[in-house]
A and B are shown apart, each in its own frame.
Chain A
Amino acid sequence: MTWLVIALLAAGVALQRLAGMFVGTALIARFPAFERLASLIPAAVVSAVIVQLTFTSKSSLVIDERLAGVAVAGFLVWRRAPMVVTIVAAAAVTAFIRAAFGL
């Protein structure tokens, strides 16, 4: 990774964030329906990130020990457990299954 690559990578990421903030916000101001749409974007996009982090390995869909950890997290979120408890439980369950089954 050269300095030029770091600069180009950084510029591309920053420009997308700024475009979202300014162009996206302008669209929301111009078209009121976009405001509700914008409030739902985090649920849709973050959910997709969860799917990618839980069910994928490279470009394949897989079911492995992560699912157990995230499922426990889902239960704890539903029961309104503190966030720290949720996170630690997800890691502990995933680690336990790997250790118990030698995965």
Chain B
Amino acid sequence: MADADLRVKPDWGVLTGIAFTFFALGVTVNVLVLERVGSEIKTVVAAIVVNSATSELAYLAVRDAGGSVLAALVAGWVVASRFGLLAAGLGGRLQVGRLHRALAGLQSFDPNVGVAVQQPTSHGVMRVFWMVTLAMHAGWWSGTFVGVFLGNIIGDADRLGLDAVFPALMLAVIGNLLRQRQGMTAALAGGGLCAVLVPIAPAGVPIIVSLVGAAIAMRVRVPEGTT
């Protein structure tokens, strides 16, 4: 059964890895946000309600570079567009009510959707989605509170190689999709388009355009009996 072999199983090792990554992310991101915002309460509230570290960082990066508030807001929204795409990918696999669907949509991130959609049944998708979401939030919240109230206990995150942790996690999340011909094609096309566009397109746009990679992969023939 190829499918059973291919899907990521959210055991303790997977959940611990995800929680560890989001802890490191929570500390490093919120130390940066606190430096610029200057208020612990605002930093924590922003972490809760924005629910997207990349949006906060994109907003602050544009403001740091001298951009207007509107330009910074647009940058923050555009980099979050991938969550809408991921929510669409998740939504097609769910058989739940509107409220449950809305809650899942609001919690759509790369790791939880990436792992969940590899499950063979709708029930499995939902169960795994929330398991991974809980692990992410456990790491993110503990990291946020440590970063905001205890300061940067991690020190120079780059010196510790923590900037390689998130892409490594993402790779592990889609690793099994890469073993399928269509998944590999989608990843290569999406990643390739992103690489081409990064130097010339505004922030966030390369991620949106990477969606075309999924459409390109649709044209790849799948051998019978596989997915």
Contacts and interface: CB of A to CB of B under 8 A. Distances in A.
A18 to B, nearest CB: 5
Contact of B77 (A12, A91, A98): A12
Given A1-B42, A42-B114, A44-B210, A9 B101 contact: no
A87 B50 CA distance: 26
Majority SS at the chain B contact face: helix
B170 A49 contact: yes
Given A6-B42, A45-B190, A98-B158, A50 B170 contact: yes
Interface in A15-30: 16-25, 27-29
Contacts of A51: 191, 194-195, 198
3 residue pairs, one from A and one from B, having the closest CB atoms: A24-B88, A21-B105, A44-B190
Interface of A: 1, 3, 5-10, 12-14, 16-25, 27-29, 33-56, 59-61, 65-66, 69-70, 73-74, 77-78, 82-84, 86-87, 89-96, 98-99
Interface of B: 13-14, 16-18, 20-21, 33, 36-37, 42, 45-46, 49-52, 55-56, 59-60, 63, 69, 72-73, 76-77, 80-94, 101-102, 104-106, 108, 110, 113-114, 117, 158-175, 177-178, 182-184, 186-191, 193-195, 198-199, 203, 206-207, 210-215, 217-218
